[in-house]
Amino acid sequence: MSTLLDISQVGMEFPTPSGPFTALRDINLKIRQGEFVSLIGHSGCGKSTVLNIVAGLHRATSGGVILNGREVTEPGPERAVVFQNHSLLPWLTAYENVELAVKQVFRKRMSRPEIREWIDHNLELVHMTHAAHKRPGEISGGMKQRVGIARALAMQPKVLLMDEPFGALDALTRAHMQDSLMEIQADLKNTVIMITHDVDEAVLLSDRIVMMTNGPAATIGEVLDIDLERPRHRLELAGDSHYNHYRARVLKFLHERHAKPGLDRSQRQPAPVADETVQGSARDTGKVVDAA
Ligand SMILES: Nc1ncnc2c1ncn2[C@@H]1O[C@H](COP(=O)(O)OP(=O)(O)OP(=O)(O)O)[C@@H](O)[C@H]1O
Ligand SMILES: [Mg+2]
């Protein structure tokens, strides 16, 4: 499959009161049509910044992003974003928030009843039918996040950009949403870039995992191809040696190579016992502990 999205030589400097802060440097990534790519890295390394540049919300200070042969200079409906902090309009209900996006994309192609059905379908997908009439102030953080996901999916975007979309969800809902996303993506062949802190989630969902080094001047440290057959089933994979190998590779990158920014391996002190405990439990849950 051909390259859909080309992130080329992207660098980002933010102006700060104490001078420019280099967040990113030399980010190079080509993403194919229909590919599912996860971005993983310690807190503050620059993952959201990369996503915002692809979304067209930030302009890179060097390099750029080409989507389907055209440079990205602004946001567009072919790139739907699920933000890290859900971004619903507070004066609209869950239903109306999704409706706004759906009308933006489908007003000309769908009749009114079709639009209504499509909104209902997407709210159902995220288990939010019962609260469709509630405003963001009346629902929990996880529920708001689910509405944000429904809104993005309902736009049937060519590229789906998700910033820790399932972080605020309980384990069961999270598993359900991951499975739904895999099904939707298999069906619609969306290209997805997802930021996650969850190693299991990254391995389960991704075709490739892009691991970022710590900032400042963060860049891509390693890219791991996840060569597991689809459809993927979490229970079957739990005992799969390839799955566990991938999982270990990502954990190793996060916990060892980049646990202490600015030091190379030879300079590092052995981790204190307390640290080991944290890392041990992180290994068990597959969650990234920010060791930086
Ligand atoms: N508008 C801004 N002005 C100045 N610095 C910024 C700005 N936005 C981000 N940064 C800095 O850039 C770096 C990367 O931030 P970013 O939000 O991309 O990290 P992240 O990897 O998404 O972190 P997290 O996992 O905590 O969400 C951080 O050091 C952050 O402080
Ligand atoms: Mg972020």
Of residues 264 and 18, more confidently modeled: 18
pTM of the model: 0.87
What's the CA gap between 233 and 213, in Å, rounded? 30
Stated as kind and residue range, the H or E segment containing 97 is helix 94-106
Query: Per-residue pLDDT averaged across 94-107, rounded?
Result: 96
User: How confident is the model at residue 57, as a pLDDT?
Assistant: 96
Measuring CA to CA, which residue among 154, 150, 155, 186 is closest to residue 165?
A: 150
Of residues 187 and 59, more confidently modeled: 59
Instruction: Kindly give the distance from the C-alpha atom of residue 289 to the centroid of ligand 1, in angstroms, as a whole number.
Output: 17
Domain ranges of the chain: 3-76+159-164+188-285, 79-156
Torsion of CA 190, 193, 198, 200, to 10 degrees: 40
User: How confident is the model at residue 138, as a pLDDT?
Assistant: 97
In this predicted structure, the answer to whether residue 42 has a pLDDT above a threshold of 60 is yes
Confidence of residue 180 (pLDDT cuts 50, 70, 90): confident
Of residues 123 and 266, more confidently modeled: 123
What does pLDDT average to over the chain? Answer: 88
In this predicted structure, the answer to whether residue 36 has a pLDDT above a threshold of 50 is yes
In this predicted structure, the answer to whether residue 270 has a pLDDT above a threshold of 80 is no
What's the CA gap between 261 and 292, in Å, rounded? 6
Confidence of residue 84 (pLDDT cuts 50, 70, 90): confident
Atom 25 in ligand 1: which residue has the minimum CA distance?
43
In this predicted structure, the answer to whether residue 274 has a pLDDT above a threshold of 50 is no
User: How confident is the model at residue 126, as a pLDDT?
Assistant: 86
Distances in Å between the Cα of 275 and the Cα atoms of 42, 51, 184, 186 are 16, 31, 39, 40
User: How confident is the model at residue 280, as a pLDDT?
Assistant: 35
Query: Hey, what are 108's tokens?
Result: 């000309």
Instruction: Kindly give the distance from the C-alpha atom of residue 44 to the centroid of ligand 2, in angstroms, as a whole number.
Output: 7
Instruction: Kindly give the distance from the C-alpha atom of residue 107 to the centroid of ligand 2, in angstroms, as a whole number.
Output: 32
Span 3-76+159-164+188-285 CATH architecture: 3-Layer(aba) Sandwich (3.40)
Would the CB of 14 count as within 6 Å of ligand 1? yes
Share of the chain above pLDDT 90, in %: 74
Would the CB of 46 count as within 6 Å of ligand 1? yes
Query: Is cis: bond before 17, omega within 30 of 0?
Result: no
What's the CA gap between 263 and 268, in Å, rounded? 6
Judge residue 96's burial from the number of C-beta atoms within 10 Å of its C-beta, 0-12 exposed, 13-18 middle, 19 or more buried: middle
User: 117-146 b/e with 16+ CB inside 10 Å = b?
Assistant: ebbeebbebbebeebbebbbeebeebbbbb
Confidence of residue 258 (pLDDT cuts 50, 70, 90): low
In this predicted structure, the answer to whether residue 184 has a pLDDT above a threshold of 80 is yes
Instruction: Kindly give the distance from the C-alpha atom of residue 14 to the centroid of ligand 1, in angstroms, as a whole number.
Output: 9
User: How confident is the model at residue 131, as a pLDDT?
Assistant: 97
In this predicted structure, the answer to whether residue 273 has a pLDDT above a threshold of 90 is no
R_g over Cα of the chain = 20
Q: Which atom of ligand 1 is nearest the CA belonging to 52?
A: 18
Would the CB of 91 count as within 6 Å of ligand 1? no
Confidence of residue 1 (pLDDT cuts 50, 70, 90): low
Would the CB of 25 count as within 6 Å of ligand 1? no
